[in-house]
Amino acid sequence: MKETGDNRKMVKTRFAPSPTGRMHVGNLRTALYAYLIAKHEGGNFMLRIEDTDQERFMEGALEIIYHTLDETGLKHDEGPDKDGGVGPYVQSERNTQGIYLKYAKQLIAQGDAYYCFCDKERLESLSANVGGKEIHMYDKHCLHLPKEEIEKNLAAGKPYVIRINMPTEGTTTFHDEIYGNITVENAELDDMILIKSDGFPTYNFANVVDDHLMGITHVVRGNEYLSSAPKYNRLYEAFGWEVPVYVHCPLITNEEHQKLSKRSGHSSYEDLIDQGFLTEAIVNFVALLGWSPVDDREIFTLAELVEAFDYHRISKSPAVFDMTKLKWMNGEYIKQMDDEAFFEKAFPYLKRVLHKEYDFRKIASMVKTRIETFPDIPELIDFFEQVPEYDVSMYTHKKMKTNQETSLEVLKEILPILEEQEDYSNDALFGLLSAYVKEKGCKNGYVMWPIRTAVSGKQMTPAGATEILEIIGKDETIARIKAAIEKLGH
Ligand code: GLU
Which domains, and CATH codes, for the chain?
339-384 (no CATH), 392-489 (1.10.10.350)
Range 137-151 average pLDDT = 95
Q: What's the CA gap between 206 and 193, in Å, rounded?
A: 11
Span from the CA of 24 to the centroid of ligand 1 (angstroms): 12
Most ligand 1 atoms within 8 A of CB, residue of 12, 203, 235, 268 to mutate: 203
Cα 31 to Cα 35: distance, rounded to the nearest angstrom: 6
Residue 457 has pLDDT above 90, yes or no: yes
pLDDT at 134 over 80: no
CA of 232 to the centre of ligand 1 (A): 14
CB 39 less than 6 A from any atom of ligand 1: no
CA 55 from chain centre, in angstroms, equals 25
Closest CA to 22 of 220, 269, 260, 222: 269
Task: Tell me the pLDDT tens digit for each residue of 75-125.
Answer: 999 999 999 999 999 999 999 999 999 999 999 999 999 999 999 889 888
Measure Cα distances from 352 to 376, 382, 467 in Å.
12, 9, 21
- 402 in ligand 1 pocket by Cβ < 6 Å? no
Output DSSP code: residue 296.
S
Quote the mean pLDDT of the chain. 94
The predicted-structure confidence for 226-236, as pLDDT tens digits, reads as follows 988 999 999 99
99 lines ligand 1 (CB under 6 A): no
- Percent of the chain at pLDDT > 70 equals 97
Three-state SS at 450? helix
Find out whether the beta carbon of 11 lies less than 6 Å from any atom of ligand 1.
no
Give the separation between CA 314 and CA 469, rounded to whole angstroms. 52
User: Confidence band (pLDDT; 50, 70, 90) for 71?
Assistant: very high
pLDDT digits (tens, 9 = 90+) for 169-209: 999 999 999 999 999 999 889 999 999 999 999 999 999 99
pLDDT of 138 > 50? The answer is yes
Give the separation between CA 406 and CA 447, rounded to whole angstroms: 9
**Ligand 1 neighbourhood includes 29 CB (under 6 angstroms):** no
Q: How confident is the model at residue 1 (pLDDT cuts 50, 70, 90)?
A: very low
pLDDT at residue 242 greater than cutoff 90: yes
Q: How far apart are CA 456 and CA 383, in angstroms?
A: 5
The beta-strand segments (E) located in 316-465 are 319-320
Atom of ligand 1 nearest to the CA of 221: 8
Distance linking the first and last C-alpha atoms of the chain: 78
Ligand 1: centre distance to CA 242 (Å): 20
Q: Which atom of ligand 1 is nearest to the CA of 14?
A: 8
CA of 436 to the centre of ligand 1 (A): 69
Q: What integer pLDDT is reported at residue 490 of this predicted model?
A: 62
207 CB within 6 A, ligand 1: yes
Mutate to test the pocket of ligand 1, among 12, 18, 20, 89 (most ligand atoms within 8 A of CB): 18
User: Where residue 266 falls among pLDDT bands split at 50, 70, 90?
Assistant: confident
- 262 as an active site residue: the answer is yes
As a whole-number percent, the residues of the chain with pLDDT over 90 amount to 87
Q: What is the pTM of this model?
A: 0.89
Catalytic residue among 9, 152, 262, 362: 262
Position 158 confidence tier, pLDDT thresholds 50, 70, 90? very high
At residue 127, the pLDDT reads 76
pLDDT attached to residue 4: 46
pLDDT of residue 3: 42
Q: Is the peptide bond before 230 cis (omega within 30 degrees of 0)?
A: no
pLDDT of residue 330: 98
pLDDT tens sequence across 370-394: 999 999 999 999 999 999 999 999 9
Residue, of 81 and 56, whose pLDDT is higher: 81
